[in-house]
Amino acid sequence: MIDFEKTKAWRSGEVRHAYTTKDSILYALGVGIGHDPLDAAQLRFTYERDLVVLPTMAAVLASPGFWMRDRTELGIDFLKLVHGEQAVTLHTPLPAAARIVGQSRVTRIVDKGEGKGAVLHVEKLITDEASGTLLATAEQVLFLRGDGGFSKQGGGDEAAPPAPATPDTAPELVLDLPTRPEAALVYRLSGDINPLHVDPAVAAKAGFARPILHGLATYGVACHGVVKAFCGYDPARLKHFRARLTSPVYPGETLRLEAWRVAAGEVAFRCRVVERDLVVLANGRALLA
């Protein structure tokens, strides 16, 4: 069972990460940018000349790793952990290459009740190593399906405000974004080497017909769609990007971005898999300059 005080006090310390233009290009390729290699706008993310970076790369930079598995004294049942939501806030555009420092901490632990699991919020601050400039803030929300009921022993935070609902009107924009059959093989090179995404035997043991695409890859594909449709392929215009990961995607499937302008500089969105008519990202919000 979760030890609330120890888990709430968890800090990663400084995680130093030097990434290069090759890493930025590899991330872009892993989320489907470059599908049309003759598209000059996509080439800005995949060619080192005047290279720009997709903002959601902040989610994978300077990661503290699978710390819940290594810190057994916290009491987290990591085998029943599900990545539920992800957000990134850009304070300045990510450089194409940099030496950065990431510092992560637990900000909220919510007990949903015995048998109902718990919700863990982890914040990561990314700063430039040389200048100390804050580049981005990333928030990861994890559903701990095996850890409900811990508050009986003391502790527990209030739940975060609910995510805004997706509009119930017809979407203003619909954009199909194909994923490649080898997408997970490329995306895993950005840091998540979980065999669930590459090994058919591991995927079958987990109950999947074949290896699934990383949830953060789906998240990145959606960001590509929003940057294309609403930012004119200028990633500096995207200031905040958040979504709930609701269902897995199989590499090779088509993601359909459905989006609405809900206020000045604010876009609501979701993504569904066309082939199975299944929503895989929900409650999406993007804030634009």
Question: Which fold does the domain 4-153 belong to in CATH?
Answer: Thiol Ester Dehydrase; Chain A (3.10.129)
Rounded Cα distance between 244 and 223, Å, is 13
Question: What's the whole-model pTM score?
Answer: 0.95
The residues near 119 (Cβ < 8 Å, ≥ 6 apart) are 84, 108, 109, 110, 112, 141, 142, 143, 144, 159, 160
| Mean of all residue pLDDT scores within the chain | 95
Nearest Cα neighbor of 127 from 14, 274, 260, 264 is: 14
pLDDT the model gives residue 79: 82
From the list 215, 220, 225, 284, the catalytic residue is: 215
**Domain spanning 173-288: which CATH class is it, in words?**
alpha beta
Task: Considering the candidates 121, 197, 214, 224, report the single residue annotated as catalytic.
Answer: 197
197 is catalytic: yes
**pLDDT tens, 62-105?**
999 989 888 889 999 888 889 999 999 999 999 999 999 999 99
Domain ranges of the chain: 4-153, 173-288
The answer to whether 4-153 and 173-288 have equal CATH topology is yes
DSSP SS3 for 128 = strand
Whether 83 is catalytic is no
Digit-coded pLDDT (tens) for 223-266: 999 999 999 999 999 999 999 999 999 999 999 999 999 999 99
Q: Is 212 a catalytic residue?
A: yes
Per annotation, catalytic residue among 126, 212, 214, 224 = 212
Strands of the sheet with 266-273, listed across from one edge: 11-19, 98-111, 118-128, 134-144, 81-90, 238-245, 278-288, 266-273, 254-263, 173-178
Catalytic residue among 117, 147, 192, 284: 192
- CA 135 vs CA 78, 102, 131: distances in Å: 30, 10, 11
